[in-house]
Structure 1
Amino acid sequence: MGYLISETTKEEREAIVAESLGNIEATCDGCMSGLAEMYQDYIDGKKELCEINMEFNARYVHGEDMPGRSGCGYK
């Protein structure tokens, strides 16, 4: 089985996300619900997994790239 939208049904995509995330209901500490929502566009067939992951990773900035930061000081 593939992971592309064109290769899967909505039910298969739901299973892929659920299996990948583990505790999809987030009953342990509430942290997983945001991740489950993040992948809803994949489940609905709107965006591929790689697009969602790239968007997520693009939100983070490396410490060296932030203005006014020169590192942690422990060299």
Structure 2
Amino acid sequence: MSPHRSILIKDTTREQREEIIRRSLAGCGDGSCEMCSSCSLGAGDPFAMYQPYIDGDMEIRDINAKRAADNERLFGLQRG
């Protein structure tokens, strides 16, 4: 998938969405993590966190926004 193609649910197939998430999370747990904090802040398995996107139920941006709001509510974290 080209880096400039849309990743919106309406523009992708389930297989493409699985690949988008797989590539995006390729560094999780192997020491090259970008410190998204989903594991340490209670999101659990980062792949499971994005399952609603893969299933076509929720856009990535909405999942990320919900996670950030949950973190702020639960832990008082402020985004910079």
Q: TM-score range by the shorter chain?
A: 0.5 to 0.7
The alpha-carbon deviation at position 60 of structure 1 amounts to 1.7
**How many aligned positions are there?**
60
Q: Output the CA distance in 1 between the equivalents of 2:55 and 2:18.
A: 9
1:39 CA drift (Å): 0.2
Q: Partners of 1:16 and 1:63 in 2: how far apart?
A: 27
Q: Structure 1 stretches (4+) deviating beyond 3 angstroms?
A: none
AA of the residue aligned to 1:3: I
Q: TM-score, normalised by structure 1?
A: 0.67
Structure 2: which 5+ runs fail to align? 31-38
Q: Using structure 2 for the length normalisation, give the TM-score.
A: 0.63
> Does 2:20 match 1:9?
no
AA paired with 1:44? D
- Note the aligned Cα RMSD (angstroms): 2.4
1:10-54 superposed Cα distances (whole Å, 9 cap, x missing partner): 000000000000057x6x6xx5x7100000000000000111000
Q: For residues 33-72 of structure 1, what are the structure 2 equivalents within 5 Å?
A: 34-61=45-72, 62=76
Q: Which structure's CA Rg is the greater one?
A: 1
Identity of aligned residues (%): 37
Richer in helix (by share): 1
Structure 1: runs of 5+ lacking an equivalent = 65-75
CA deviation after TM superposition for structure 1 residue 63, in Å: 5.5
